[in-house]
Amino acid sequence: MHSWRPSLRSKPNLAIYTVNRTFSQSSRLHKLASAERQLAGKHCIITGASRGIGAEIARRFAREGARCLLIGRNESLLGKVREELEKVGEGEHRVLVGDVGDGEFWGLLKKEKHVDVLVNAAGITHYSPLFITSPSLLEEVVTTNLMGTMMACRTVGKNMMAANRGCIINVASLLGLKGGKGSVAYAASKSGVIGLTRALASELGEKNVRVNVMVPGYVETDMTEAMTPEARSEALNSIPLKRFGQAAEIADAAIFLATNQYANNCVLNLDGGLSAT
C-alpha cells in the first residue's frame, strides 16, 4: 500500500454549478409543509450523490428542506439528480464534479464554512481474490473509500468544529465487520471507515459535532446489480428478510442520524438481519 499522496491522481474536472430553482404548480403541491420539514435551511454535502444510496439521500434531504451540494465524478448524472431536487425541495442545490480520492479536490471544500450535514456515500467495490487483484486496484479501493472519507471528514469537520455544530454520516458496509470472499480491499476500507468514525466521534463530540456510520448489508443499486446471479441468490438466501434493502430505507436512516441530537458514534446496521446470521 502506498502512502497517501495528494497528487497521485490526474486532476479532476472541477466545477461548481448552481441553478436557480423554478417551481411548477404541481411540484408545489408535493412539497412538504414548511413546519414538517426536518432539514429546513440546512446546508448538506453528499458525496456519491450521482447514483444509488447517495442520490437517494440527497432526494430525501431535499424533500426535508435541505440545500444540497452534490459530489461525484459524473457531471451529467449529478446534473440530473440536481434537477430532481429542484422539483421537490425549496433550497438551492449545487454540483461539484471531482474525485473524492484526490487530496487536492478537498481543498475546494475549505470555503464551505457552514455545513450542517456531511454524508460520505462515495464508494467503489471489487469482487476478486486478493492474490489476483492488482496493487493499483487495491490502492484505488482504499484511496476512494477510506482516504476519501477521511479527507472529507478532515476538511469539512474542521469547519464544523469552528462553527461548533455539525453532523457527519459515513457509509461503511457489513463487509467491514464480517468476512466476505473476494472483498479484501473493500472490507479493509470499510473497517477503516467504522474505525475512523469511532475515533472522530470522541474527538469532535465536545465541539458539538456528531459523527455516525451506517453499515448497510446488500442494497439495490448499481453496485449490487453487478453481482452474478449465483452470488445474488446466495446472498438472498442468507438474509433473514429474504430481500436486499432499498436505497430509500438507507436514506430514512440518514434522516434519523442527521436530526437526532443525541446520536453520536452510532454504528447503525441496515442489513435485513444479515449480521445476526
Ligand X SMILES: NC(=O)c1ccc[n+]([C@@H]2O[C@H](COP(=O)([O-])OP(=O)(O)OC[C@H]3O[C@@H](n4cnc5c(N)ncnc54)[C@H](OP(=O)(O)O)[C@@H]3O)[C@@H](O)[C@H]2O)c1
Active site residues: 186
**Nearer of residues 70 and 167 to ligand X, judged by Cβ:** 70
Contacts of 123 (CB under 8 A, 6+ apart): 48, 144, 145, 148, 171, 173, 189, 223
Among 38, 224, 259, 265, binds ligand X (CB under 6 A): 224
SS3 label, residue 141: helix
73 near ligand X, judged by CB under 6 A: yes
Binding flag, residue 272, ligand X (CB under 6 A): no
Stretch that binds ligand X, among 19-27, 41-49, 196-204, 232-240 (CB under 6 A): 41-49
Query: Could you give the C-alpha distances from 2 to 8, 140, 263, in angstroms and in order?
Result: 10, 10, 35
Q: What are the backbone angles phi and psi of residue 109, rounded to the nearest 5°?
A: -90, -5
Please provide residue 97's backbone torsions phi and psi, each rounded to the nearest 5 degrees.
-90, 125
- Closest contact distance (angstroms) between CB of 118 and ligand X is 14
Return the number of the residue (163 or 223) whose C-beta is nearest ligand X.
223
- Point out which span in 58-66, 67-75, 86-94, 108-116 binds ligand X (CB under 6 A): 67-75
**Taking a C-beta distance cutoff of 8 angstroms, is the pair 106, 155 a contact?**
yes
- Check: CB of residue 7 under 8 Å from CB of residue 82: no
What part of residues 145-204 is at the interface with ligand X (CB under 6 A)?
Answer: 171, 173
The amino acid at residue 244 is F
Strand partners, 211: 168
The correct pick among 57, 96, 100, 209 for binding ligand X (CB under 6 A) is 100
Does residue 231 belong to the site contacting ligand X (CB under 6 A)?
no
Q: Within a 10 A sphere around the Cβ of 29, how many other Cβ atoms?
A: 7
* Residue of the chain from 103, 144, 210, 264 that contacts ligand X (CB under 6 A): 144
Of residues 223, 231, 235, 248, which one binds ligand X by CB under 6 A? 223
**46 near ligand X, judged by CB under 6 A:** no
Window 103 to 132, contacts with ligand X (CB under 6 A): 121-125
Give the H/E segment covering residue 255.
helix 247-259
Residue 65 or 176 with smaller CB distance to ligand X: 176
Asked whether 148 and 189 are in contact (CB, 8 A), the reply is no
For ligand X, which residue of 54, 65, 157, 166 counts as binding (CB under 6 A)? 54
CA separation for the pair 12, 140 (Å, rounded)? 15
User: Nearest 5 degrees, angle CA 236-CA 242-CA 246?
Assistant: 90
The correct pick among 43, 52, 109, 147 for binding ligand X (CB under 6 A) is 52
Q: In which residue are the cell numbers 430509500 written?
A: 248
Span near ligand X by CB under 6 A; candidates 21-29, 36-44, 97-105, 231-239: 97-105
Q: Which residues contribute to the site for ligand X (CB under 6 A)?
A: 47-54, 72-74, 77, 99-101, 121-125, 144, 171, 173, 216, 218-219, 221-224
